[in-house]
Structure 1
């Protein structure tokens, strides 16, 4: 070592470093530095060529066209603008549950990530944490052109990363479609239940109105029937009283006629002529605007009328109103309005203000929307087979190895320089001390005599 490395002479103080001498020392170690750098470079090259290559693929999603979601939005059930659809798909791609579900359903694609002794979830966690990355646009940018979702994946050799990434995108889109279909089914069922509830309320209102109407009609008939019966009872009392009064009048008239000797019907003028003598026969025409007293009817006629009145059992026939009352009572025996109301079979057609509800219910039941044909997002770029690996970067690794080796070689040369410099200083110090000790021994006898 000493034959190949010579410490240059030191002429500076201990606190100073001779940079030129240091450079010379490093230069003298150039072979060693080159060897060390070459060794590091070879190790780096070995790692670069032995390490498993890693590849990178990506897929870009953008908002779908407005016409793709027009059928869904025009259903008036589910509103989903293109930006919201892209956000839903992005949230699904970022969802742990979505990725785990895809991992479980396609285990043959993830065999490289499974390790013995690990559960399925643990193997998935390694893949989810290190391989998949979701990139979103800057939220501060309002430009719609910047709306996109980028899904990228790094995977080792032997893994079909293109199939995994494209499959994950398709799986997330199908999941969102199924979720939308489930949401629409629930919404339609809820709306149908709401409409059915409104129809039930309308039916209940109709039933209440119908029962109230029947009750009103029945009550009105009962009141009218009672009034008619009261009226006919009053009329019969009136007719009986009138008949009794007539009999009393006839009794008085009979008494007067007997006292006057009037047996046959007569008039005041004829009664006066009868009292005169002479038998000449005369025909008279008498016009009188006054009512002739009843006793002029004569005893015979009055007695006959009185006998009939006393034998009468009912006075109903003498009053036309009684017949009219019986007619009305007969009509009240059956209320045709109530009969028609009770005989209705399809009462739904009589419900009011329910046509819009029925139309909406029919529209919802006949809603034929194929969710599987709805395009939630536009796949702007599919994941394609990469042209080459992104890791390891061989030239960069080799260059870094050579650079690191060179730095280590220079550091080693500098360290060796300082060690050699320290050894040279120690030797010089020891030489000076030995020379001082030798001179002291030669001068010691003369100094003693002088002192004596």
Structure 2
């Protein structure tokens, strides 16, 4: 090697560059030399993970799946008597079931009704928290997933988590029955109120028709009596005209019908009361449109809906006690512990090796100063 080349290699600039570079072989030698720290870091992380898994409370998850009911399940809500008042198709029924399962109001009512049973599950209820906070904690145990546009079937999946697998299944099944029954009860109240409102409207219309009929009958009776007096005074016994004599909308004076016809019409009006006694709706049969109103009223009042035959949705999959816990995820925790353990061990080995080199440099400087 020439003198110029040696000077270049030993130059301060190049020496500084070499000092800044990382030699992988030196790193490997450092790791091998301090391998005890690699094992310490690795086993420490694995031990901590194992301790966590041993002490952590296992969480079990169960689920229910709802699907649309059959067409027969909504027949009772679509009877002819309810036409124009209330109706429900399968899509609307399942939407009601979905809203019931996701309803905060129903969930809170269920929580209050089953509070004693919920308190018996360790870790779910905290006496130090308020009722609102405890309910919020309970509410977070529920998760849901609804079918999307790309799914072949329509469904609603509701999941529930608890440390006790059997309690999780029992509570979720109870909540499903509770929420669907509560929604059906709301529908019943809605139908009853709408039917009552329709009956009230029809009865009001019937009352108006009766009052109108009564007024017209009184008016007609007075007109007949007046016309009869005039006809009798002028000696008009028979009618002076026939239907063919009437042109257009012209109506001759009533007295021109003659006393015989006037008396006959008055008698017919009085006979209505006698005939009405033999009819279902009495004299109401003589009132235009009233019999049909009364029939509708009777139909609505006698309407009986069997809600035991009504189903908003079908529980396609009931909740069962899960066999394995979903939390903590043991394999994932141990895998992360292994990765973290290797990383921590390597870092510890490199740091210890760097510390030893630093001590050697300090000792070397001290010896150099003593020699000088």
Global fold match (TM > 0.5)? yes
Counterparts in 2 of 1:335 and 1:162: CA distance versus 1, 3 Å: closer
- Residue 165 (1) aligns with residue 172 (2): yes
State how far apart, in whole Å, the 2-side matches of 1:390 and 1:157 are.
12
Q: Which ranges of structure 1 fall in alignment gaps of 5 or more residues?
A: 1-9, 230-327, 439-452
128, 131, 134: which is aligned to 1:123? 134
Alpha-carbon shift at residue 148 of structure 1 (Å): 0.5
Superposed CA offset, 1:316-358 (max 9, x none): xxxxxxxxxxxx79x98x9645655788774312111223222
147, 151, 160: which is aligned to 1:137? 147
34, 42, 48: which is aligned to 1:29? 34
State how far apart, in whole Å, the 2-side matches of 1:385 and 1:342 are.
73
Residues 239-318 of structure 1 mapped to structure 2, 5 A cutoff:
none
Check the 8 A contact 2:41/2:345 in 1, yes or no. yes
Please name the residue that 1:220 is paired with. Answer: 227
When the two structures are superposed, what TM-score results if normalisation uses the length of structure 2? 0.78
Counterparts in 2 of 1:91 and 1:368: CA distance versus 1, 3 Å: same
Alpha-carbon shift at residue 433 of structure 1 (Å): 5.9
State how far apart, in whole Å, the 2-side matches of 1:50 and 1:342 are.
91
State how far apart, in whole Å, the 1-side matches of 2:17 and 2:128 are.
66
Q: How many residues are matched?
A: 323
Please name the residue that 1:355 is paired with. Answer: 291
Q: Which ranges of structure 2 fall in alignment gaps of 5 or more residues?
A: 1-14, 237-258
Secondary structure of 2:143's match?
Answer: strand
Q: What RMSD, in angstroms, separates the aligned Cα atoms of the two structures?
A: 2.8
State how far apart, in whole Å, the 2-side matches of 1:335 and 1:65 are.
61
200, 203, 211: which is aligned to 1:204? 211
Please name the residue that 2:336 is paired with. Answer: 400
Residues 69-148 of structure 1 mapped to structure 2, 5 A cutoff:
69-75=74-80, 76=83, 77-111=85-119, 112=121, 113-129=124-140, 131-138=141-148, 140-141=149-150, 145-148=152-155
Counterparts in 2 of 1:17 and 1:431: CA distance versus 1, 3 Å: farther
Secondary structure of 1:146's match?
Answer: coil
Secondary structure of 2:19's match?
Answer: coil
Secondary structure of 2:288's match?
Answer: coil
Residues 423-442 of structure 1 mapped to structure 2, 5 A cutoff:
423-428=359-364, 438=372
Check the 8 A contact 2:34/2:352 in 1, yes or no. no
Superposed CA offset, 1:264-293 (max 9, x none): xxxxxxxxxxxxxxxxxxxxxxxxxxxxxx
Counterparts in 2 of 1:19 and 1:12: CA distance versus 1, 3 Å: farther
Check the 8 A contact 1:114/1:120 in 2, yes or no. no
Please name the residue that 1:183 is paired with. Answer: 190
When the two structures are superposed, what TM-score results if normalisation uses the length of structure 1? 0.65
Check the 8 A contact 1:41/1:399 in 2, yes or no. no
Alpha-carbon shift at residue 34 of structure 1 (Å): 0.8
- Residue 391 (1) aligns with residue 327 (2): yes
State how far apart, in whole Å, the 2-side matches of 1:147 and 1:57 are.
20
Check the 8 A contact 1:137/1:146 in 2, yes or no. yes
Counterparts in 2 of 1:123 and 1:102: CA distance versus 1, 3 Å: same
Counterparts in 2 of 1:199 and 1:11: CA distance versus 1, 3 Å: closer
Please name the residue that 1:195 is paired with. Answer: 202
Alpha-carbon shift at residue 223 of structure 1 (Å): 2.8
Q: Which has the larger radius of gyration?
A: 1
Check the 8 A contact 1:56/1:390 in 2, yes or no. yes
